Amino acid sequence: MISPNRGTNRFQSTYWGTLKHFEVPTSIVQATSIDQKETKIHLRNPALSVLLVILQSAQARKSQEVGSPVIVKMKSTTLSERTRYSKDKITQATRELDCVYLKRIENIKRKKHGRFGSSEFVLLNPTDSSEFKWGATRNLHYAAGIPYFLFPQCVITDTSAPWSLACMSPCEFRLYVAICWRANRSRGSLFEVAEKEVAELSGLSRPAFRKALTRIEELGLIEVERVFRELKIALCDPFTREPLHQKEAEADTRKDLENYKAVDSHGRAKRMNFNTADPEMSRRLLEQSLPANAQMVPQNNGDVFIGCPYHSEDTPSCSVSFVSSASDALVVLRREHSVSC
């Protein structure tokens, strides 16, 4: 069950809190009825994915000279890796976005033997198709007075995570974008909405919608409480599965999972992903988190017993499941009880 806010919330300025995010123009959603009560994401799946990858890349860069156009140069391999689309699909996507959200610069060098190398794009203002100009900050849409909503950067960049764009199906990603858009309209990470409205917003059929909704909830991106045809949806931190509206400041920094880092293949420290949806990864995380020489007793069903982190005991009695949720492996780090004791 989704519980109300707990105490003082440190995430006042934006409901994404310290989780890195970027701006996406709300114009990706357009009215489909004369009275403008029905709305839907108007971009096809490849175009939607490519647009968010390019927008994230642009806003992650350092601001250039004020007044200069916003130009994004991306390796085609990066586009393909993050979207999981082929060269042809990416080309079709950029054509759909052309002259509205971006303009492709054609005079670029190509790799030999027919391989496509890098692409350069000029970002456009979707309201009038004029070129975006760099301001004093990287908040392009805010500076230009263009309505936007926020989207978590890690869903685009952490391609190995099961909850990333690269690993989600097109329907799942499309629905997640629609939910983030709807959360912005509600001005918070916890909101109530009719199931029909979100289904129409995503443009998915009812069976596809329900399947995608179940999946992104399993991935820990959202929590959903269903009451007849109404939904109460809570956005979650992709790294921990914790609902954003319940986050609190921790007096003990060791209990705050945001403070745990892992070094990637490039030697850069990044937030550790505790939401792996991978039983083997959960087991490794648990083993690394336990004190030296700690006992881990296997059970017949694949679960294990460990010493309870909340009291001293000689015989391990705390049961941890690696199947039901990867977050169970964090029992020794979480402030809340996430496993049965």
Across 105-126, average pLDDT:
71
Tokens of 49: 């994915």
The answer to whether residue 249 scores a pLDDT higher than 70 is no
pTM recorded for the entire structure: 0.82
Q: How high is the pLDDT of residue 277?
A: 67
Identify the top-confidence range among 25-34, 56-65, 161-170. 161-170
Distance CA 104, CA 85 (A): 18
- Is the Cβ–Cβ distance between 136 and 144 less than 8 Å? no
Is-contact 124 132, C-beta < 8 A? yes
The residue among 260, 209, 292, 270 whose CA lies nearest residue 41 is: 209
In degrees and rounded to multiples of 5, residue 234 shows phi and psi of -120, 125
**φ, ψ for residue 112, nearest 5 deg:** -75, 170
What per-residue confidence (pLDDT) applies to 42?
Answer: 95
Residue 66 DSSP one-character state: T
Quote the DSSP letter at residue 212.
H
> Could you report the per-residue pLDDT of 156-207, keeping only the tens digit for each?
999 989 999 999 999 999 999 999 999 999 999 999 999 999 999 999 999 9
CA 35 vs CA 31, 40, 198: distances in Å: 8, 14, 18
Average of per-residue pLDDT across 300-316: 79
Q: Which residue has the tokens 């990044």?
A: 270
Structure token pair of residue 267: 């030697």
Q: Is the pLDDT of residue 310 over 90?
A: no
Distance of CA 260 to the CA centre of its chain: 18
pLDDT value of position 18: 84
φ, ψ of residue 239 in degrees (nearest 5): -75, -25
Q: Interior CA angle at 22 toward 17 and 28, to 5°?
A: 120
